[in-house]
Amino acid sequence: MNLTIKRILVIILAILFAVSLVIVQYWEITKQRPGATPEAVVSAESQECVSCHEDVDKTPNLVVAWRSSKHAAQGVDCLSCHQVEEGDWDYFLCPGATTPVASHPTPKDCAECHEQQVNEFAGSKHGATAMIFMSRSFDRNVLEPTLTTKHGCQECHNIGHMWPDQSVGECDACHAKHTFDVGIARNPYTCGECHIGPDHPHIEIWLESKHGNVFTSFPENWEKLSYNEDELEVVPFNAPTCTTCHMDAAPGLPATHDVGSRLAWETQSPFTIRTTEAWGGGLSWEEKRANMKRTCFQCHSPNFVERYLLVGDLSAVQYNEIFKEAKRWLNAMNEAGIILTPGFEGLAPFTVAGYDEEPEQVSYHMWHHEGRRYRHGALMMGADYTQWHGIWDLQHDLIEIIRYAAEAGLPEAEAWMTSGDPAKFWLYPFYDVPGSAWGIDTIAYRKSDEHTTKILMNRDVMPDYWDRVYANVQALYNQGVLSDDQWDLYQELWENRDVENGQVFPLPPDFQVHAEGLAADKEATGRQVGELKLPYGGAWEWATGEANAQ
Amino acid sequence: MEERGMMGRRDFLLNLGVIGGIVVAAGGSLIHALRFLLPGMARPAERRIRVGTLTSLSEEALFRTIGGVPFVLVRRGETVRAFSSTCTHLGCQVKWLPQEEKFFCPCHLGYFDANGVNVAGPPPRPLDEYKVEMEGNNIYIFLPLPEQGGIEA
Amino acid sequence: MTANERKSFWSERLPIDWELLQHPLREPVPYHMNFWWFALGGTPLILLGIQVATGILLTFYYVPSPPEAYESIRYIQNVVPFGWWIRGIHHWGATLMILTVWLHMLRVFITGAYRRPREFNWLIGVGLLFATLAFGFTGYSLIYNQLSYWATTVGTNIFKDVPVVGPLILSFLRGGLDVTANTLTRFFSVHIGVLPTVMVILLAVHVLLLRVHGVSELDPKDTRRIVFFPDHVLTEIIVGFYLMLILTSLAILFPPPLGELANPASTPLHIKPEWYFYPVYRWLRLVPGTVGLVGAGLFLLVLTFWPAADGLLERWFPKRDLSVVLGSLVAVTVAAAMVWEAFVV
């Protein structure tokens, strides 16, 4: 190859390269930019809405929110959801607009694309929340003016709104419009809009649980909430939110909008029951429990999960015996003519005639507030809600009912009130499990089985405590409330109760130190409080004594 | 002699072609590389936004921010003008002095009149003006989209 | 100021003998250098230049920290003007560089150009090969996508099996026991600081030795010569243009993939290194850990000191040119392993 050819070749190649640079320029101008900030795609028919609503006076943030949504990036715009036909119940023509819109899209509109989610939701307990408005034996109408329910109970129960187009639900209750960000739907504070407060403090239970503590300890977890389930096998954070266990996908478990499809217990009702196949997609409670456990297994060993749930399950049914006892006293009072409320017999927790008597209100609190707090706390790691806001309040209200009966002259109640036996606080049958989910019980000061019983019962009775407990749990199992596996586990723990209940071992030296400390505190209290005599009393003492004397 | 002259001219032209080709190629690549280094030069297009109605707009200046772009609307009779409220001196936000009917920049005491013209102080040029369109009573302005710099991580 | 005065002005301030400097340009080189496949060494050199230029440009936007690293590359690819072009050239430039280094090496091997007195330059050439491979490995680790993360994990884990110092090497490579942000920053530092420095030094020596030895003769009877400048320089310019055209076409037609963000919790089902590591990957998958490592080490050792091994072969079998046979065999085997890994498994 001689020089001339080489030079000609260079020139040709230079020209070609220059052409390629122009092609690069063209490519740069026309390139698709996947992953860049998605440009909202507005169809011609929705353009009218968008250009007007971007006006500073016409809810511009509505458009801003929509622009940031996945909907916007994928061309789902105003009329995709707000489409309307003449005669529709929510037909609406914006002032100054030419295109009519549906003022309130319903789940039917969402179902155009998200049919499975809408159907799952409609069949779920969330979908059934409007039912409460239809109940003839409805409990609170008696207490509350309907006005107050509008910004009250309806705000939450509208999640199961029923629409003229026959669809059920209110999707934006969780998928806040107009971003519809799944991260908001998964945010525990979204569930906490309703699942909060005295009757079902679920967000508080979550916050006080290890789950909530760990989750909120890592700020980056909040940013991960928008994760795409199709791309992940396990949840991308180190502790669950509400939806992680109740709705989101887990290995071998698809995501669901039926919040009941993983629930083995009905624990919001006056009495705890295993969920029936009418709820949760026709699954048996065992199948629903198996679903729930798949979410647990992302982080927990089966051993821990089974033990935790066994204790939780027995706690949940233990409540039934407490409330049955309350009902027994109420019924006894009814029979004795102390309270006379029709329809309040047997196990019936509601009364059409209303909560005009104190024991009726107390009993309502027992199941609707404290009973739920106790049950939900026990199943979801909310120790304080199981304890002080739960069993303590339940016991307290049971005593309130009996005290009312005693004051009204019911002989059995009078006898109970005047009894000095500490065992009187356990009026009802009981369950128990040797050991706990966290391993073997190590009550250091346990000296013998008998001693444990003494601690539990406040007195030296019931040497056959564990035999009685066993028989009670067996009766529960025979009734189908425990699964075969749970009964097997229970028997195993029961047989091994000497170990599960903790070894008997000498007290550590610290125990003596603590005992001395407590003795010192007692002595200090006597000195600092008991022996202190102030020279002057209060104004009342002065008014009733000194002043008169002068 | 003549043949060598021919050869010489051909050589010269070829060499010119080679050098020219290399310069064009290097220059072209360099231009692309420079654009690579200047992402902010890619000003996104303006967008047309309705900002209100003539009847609802007072005689006063109305300050607004849409999508991170601050601007001010000034009405004089039936005409509405839109200015960037960013001072042309060093980028502070100007204020409206109703008594004097002037814009005032607190940073270096620059003044602009109601037409956005720099009348006193250090500002080198009038306030940037945005195009306004009236459709009946409606006021539309053409506002640049805010720039997005860097990754959103 | 006359021309003469100007000249003296500059020659006074820059007392350089331009005539002497031009001397190397006039160096006569063998006629076969007119043919690209005999002048392959210049190609990776041009590519190195392209890599340096595009690489420096990429650092203007690259953030060497997880997970922003991935995000910044996405930004380069999708948002920055011509970012896709610069990154595409850098990506495909790396691929072509490794390919042409191997081809250059193969040519040197087949034509016996490593033989006396050029043994040292072979050694330095092998060093350049390692540096190039290290460039590739550290380069695609920087993307912080799934391939990056797991390739880094697996690639560094290989050294775990080195006797005695394995854990130390592993910890040195990763900046800790695991692949973390430390690993990313040190790979970045190695990729843009250490390796370029090493490479430039080795290249300088490589080219210097080449020039003092002169280009090796293919056929001692062929006495035809061409001049380095402009003849050979023009050849390289042509090669350079070809390369840019190929790279630009590849950047447009086959934009380098971005993959998914690295997820230390989940290894993708199909995970493979870049194609140029396929042979060693295939090998390591065929045999147990230590054997694989020792085998690969042995191969590299023989490769590095091939001139000495070749000397031994010549002494033992003076009549046969075993090196060509052996070299061809190894080349075919390596290529076969690559194809096997790429298409069969």
- What is the pLDDT, as a whole number, of residue A40? 60
With 0-12 CB in 10 A as exposed, 13-18 as middle and 19+ as buried, what is C176? middle
Token duo for residue A278: 């009418």
- Do A288 and A211 sit in the same domain of this protein? yes
Does some domain include residue A56?
no
Q: Are strands B79-84 and B129-130 parallel, antiparallel or unpaired?
A: antiparallel
Does some domain include residue A465?
yes
- What is the pLDDT, as a whole number, of residue A178? 93
Among C248, C271, C294, give the residue marking a domain's end.
C271
Cα nearest neighbour of B150 on chain C: C75
- Average pLDDT score over chain A: 86
Q: Is B24 on the interface with A (CB under 8 A)?
A: yes
Token duo for residue A5: 């050819």
Helix runs in chain B, H state only: 2-37
**DSSP H or E stretch at residue C306:** helix C306-316
Distance from CA of C198 to the nearest CA of A (A): 32
Q: Number of H helices and number of E strands within chain B? A: 1, 11
Given a cut of 70, whether residue A41 has pLDDT beyond it is no
Does some domain include residue C90?
yes
Determine whether the interchain pair B14/A13 forms a contact, defined as Cβ–Cβ distance below 8 Å: no
Q: Could you tell me how far CA C295 lies from the centroid of its own chain?
A: 22
> Could you report the predicted ipTM of this complex, rounded to two decimals?
0.84
Q: Are strands A273-274 and B69-76 parallel, antiparallel or unpaired?
A: unpaired
Q: Number of H helices and number of E strands within chain A? A: 29, 4
The parent domain of residue C319 ranges over 274-345
Quote the pTM value: 0.57
Distance from CA of C58 to the nearest CA of A (A): 17
Q: Cα–Cα distance between A273 and A283 in angstroms, integer? A: 15
What share of chain A has pLDDT > 70, as a percent?
A: 88
Does some domain include residue C188?
yes
Most confident range, picked from A79-93, A96-110, A296-310, C250-264? A296-310
- Do C132 and C54 sit in the same domain of this protein? yes
Closest CA to A432 of A321, A325, A310: A310
Q: Cα–Cα distance between A258 and A124 in angstroms, integer? A: 5
- Do A339 and A366 sit in the same domain of this protein? yes
- Chain A residues within 8 Å of chain B (Cβ atoms): 4, 7-8, 10-11, 13-15, 17-18, 21, 24-25, 28, 37, 51-52, 54-58, 60, 64
**Concatenated DSSP letters of A197-245:** SSS--HHHHHHHSHHHHHHHH-THHHHGGG--GGG-SS-SSSS--HHHH
Which residue has 């005290």 as its token pair? A403
Q: Give the count of beta carbons closer than 10 Å to the beta carbon of residue A133.
A: 15
The 3-state DSSP class for residue A48 equals: helix
Does some domain include residue C17?
no
Does some domain include residue A337?
yes
- Do A138 and A239 sit in the same domain of this protein? yes
Among C271, C292, C311, give the residue marking a domain's end.
C271
Does some domain include residue A7?
no
State how far the alpha carbon of A549 is from the alpha carbons of A390, A534, A535, C283, in Å: 52, 20, 18, 110
Q: Cα–Cα distance between A87 and A91 in angstroms, integer? A: 7
- Do C142 and C252 sit in the same domain of this protein? yes
Q: Cα–Cα distance between C50 and C57 in angstroms, integer? A: 11
- Do C195 and C280 sit in the same domain of this protein? no
Does some domain include residue C22?
no
Is residue A501 within 8 A of residue A434, CB to CB? The reply is yes
* Chain B residues with beta carbon closer than 8 angstroms to that of C68: 151, 153
Contacts of C339-343 with C-beta under 8 Å, sequence gap 24+, read C340/C282, C341/C272, C341/C278, C341/C279, C341/C281, C341/C282, C342/C275, C342/C278
- Do C109 and C225 sit in the same domain of this protein? yes
Q: Give the count of beta carbons closer than 10 Å to the beta carbon of residue A259.
A: 20
Does some domain include residue A329?
yes
pLDDT-derived band at A52 (thresholds 50, 70, 90) equals confident
* Chain C residues with beta carbon closer than 8 angstroms to that of A3: 230-231, 234
- Do A318 and A454 sit in the same domain of this protein? no
- What is the pLDDT, as a whole number, of residue A495? 93
- Do A443 and A519 sit in the same domain of this protein? no
- Do A173 and A290 sit in the same domain of this protein? yes
Is residue A68 within 8 A of residue A179, CB to CB? The reply is yes
Determine whether the interchain pair A16/C248 forms a contact, defined as Cβ–Cβ distance below 8 Å: no
- What is the pLDDT, as a whole number, of residue A74? 67
Q: Given strand B79-84, what is the order of strands in its sheet?
A: B62-66, B69-76, B79-84, B129-130
Among C271, C296, C314, give the residue marking a domain's end.
C271
- What is the pLDDT, as a whole number, of residue C249? 94
- What is the pLDDT, as a whole number, of residue A135? 60
Q: Which residues of chain C have pLDDT under 50?
A: none
- Do C114 and C219 sit in the same domain of this protein? yes
Is residue A318 within 8 A of residue A431, CB to CB? The reply is yes
Q: Cα–Cα distance between A259 and A279 in angstroms, integer? A: 10
Assign residue C64 the CATH number of its domain: 1.20.810.10
- Do A318 and A255 sit in the same domain of this protein? no
pLDDT-derived band at A99 (thresholds 50, 70, 90) equals confident
Cα nearest neighbour of A49 on chain B: B50
* Chain A residues with beta carbon closer than 8 angstroms to that of C260: 231
Of the residues B30, B31, B36, B145, the best mutation for testing chain C's interface (the one with the most C CB atoms within 10 Å of its CB) is B36
Of the residues B36, B50, B143, the best mutation for testing chain A's interface (the one with the most A CB atoms within 10 Å of its CB) is B50
Given a cut of 50, whether residue A116 has pLDDT beyond it is yes
Is residue C49 within 8 A of residue C243, CB to CB? The reply is no
Measured in residues, chain C has a length of: 345
Given a cut of 70, whether residue A352 has pLDDT beyond it is no
Backbone φ and ψ for C3, nearest 5 degrees, come out as: -60, -40
Is residue A450 within 8 A of residue A271, CB to CB? The reply is no
**Concatenated DSSP letters of C248-294:** HHHHHHSPPP--PBP-TT---SS----GGGHHHHHHHHHS-HHHHHH
pLDDT tens digits along A473-509: 999 999 999 999 999 999 999 998 877 777 666 677 8
- Do C261 and C306 sit in the same domain of this protein? no
Does some domain include residue C13?
no
State the Rg of chain C over Cα: 23
What does the CA dihedral C220, C221, C224, C225 come to, rounded to 10 degrees?
A: 20
Given a cut of 50, whether residue A35 has pLDDT beyond it is no
Q: How many CB pairs under 8 A join A and C?
A: 61
Number of domains, chain A: 5
Residues of B (58-97) whose Cβ lies below 8 Å from A: 64, 66-67
Residue range A130-139: mean pLDDT, rounded:
64
Given a cut of 70, whether residue A184 has pLDDT beyond it is yes
- Do C51 and C200 sit in the same domain of this protein? yes
Q: Cα–Cα distance between A317 and A371 in angstroms, integer? A: 11
Determine whether the interchain pair A28/C265 forms a contact, defined as Cβ–Cβ distance below 8 Å: no
- Do C304 and C231 sit in the same domain of this protein? no
Which residue has 């089966």 as its token pair? A302
- For chain C, the farthest-separated pair of C-alpha atoms sits apart, in whole angstroms, at 78
State how far the alpha carbon of A456 is from the alpha carbons of A322, A444, A476, in Å: 17, 14, 22
- What is the pLDDT, as a whole number, of residue C101? 94
Burial A345-364 (b: 16+ CB within 10 A, else e): eeebbbbeeebebebbebbb
Q: What are the start-end ranges of the E strands in chain C? A: 28-30, 225-227
- Do A114 and A100 sit in the same domain of this protein? no
CA angle in degrees (0–180, nearest 5) for B78-B82-B86 = 150
Q: Cα–Cα distance between C227 and B95 in angstroms, integer? A: 73
Q: What is chain B's percent helix, strand, coil content, to nearest 5? A: 25, 35, 40
- Do C250 and C315 sit in the same domain of this protein? no
- What is the pLDDT, as a whole number, of residue A142? 55
- What is the pLDDT, as a whole number, of residue B1? 39
**DSSP H or E stretch at residue A459:** none
| pLDDT values of chain B reduced to their tens digit, one per residue, 153 residues | 344 566 688 888 888 999 999 999 999 999 999 988 887 655 555 666 667 667 767 667 888 776 667 889 898 888 889 999 999 999 999 999 988 889 999 999 999 998 999 999 999 999 999 999 887 777 778 877 665 566 654
Distance from CA of B123 to the nearest CA of C (A): 33
- What is the pLDDT, as a whole number, of residue C322? 79
Q: Cα–Cα distance between C159 and C322 in angstroms, integer? A: 33
- Do A209 and A337 sit in the same domain of this protein? no
The 3-state DSSP class for residue A138 equals: coil
Side chain identity, residue A452: T
Given a cut of 70, whether residue A310 has pLDDT beyond it is yes
pLDDT-derived band at A445 (thresholds 50, 70, 90) equals very low
**For chain C, which chains pass the contact test of at least 3 CB pairs under 8 Å?**
A, B
- What is the pLDDT, as a whole number, of residue B150? 63
- Do A186 and A291 sit in the same domain of this protein? yes
Cα nearest neighbour of C260 on chain A: A231
- Do A495 and A534 sit in the same domain of this protein? no
pLDDT tens digits along A361-398: 899 899 999 999 999 999 999 999 999 999 999 999 99
Does some domain include residue A198?
yes
- Do A477 and A539 sit in the same domain of this protein? no
Does some domain include residue A32?
no
Among A386, A401, A421, give the residue marking a domain's end.
A421
Backbone φ and ψ for A293, nearest 5 degrees, come out as: -65, -30
Backbone φ and ψ for A503, nearest 5 degrees, come out as: -75, 155
- Do C116 and C151 sit in the same domain of this protein? yes
Determine whether the interchain pair A10/C234 forms a contact, defined as Cβ–Cβ distance below 8 Å: yes
* Chain A residues with beta carbon closer than 8 angstroms to that of B18: 7, 10-11, 14
- What is the pLDDT, as a whole number, of residue A37? 44
- What is the pLDDT, as a whole number, of residue B149? 62
The parent domain of residue A95 ranges over 68-105
Does some domain include residue A15?
no
Q: Cα–Cα distance between C340 and B59 in angstroms, integer? A: 79
Closest CA to A167 of A105, A81, A79: A105
Of the residues C68, C85, C233, the best mutation for testing chain A's interface (the one with the most A CB atoms within 10 Å of its CB) is C85
Q: Cα–Cα distance between C40 and C56 in angstroms, integer? A: 25
Number of domains, chain C: 2
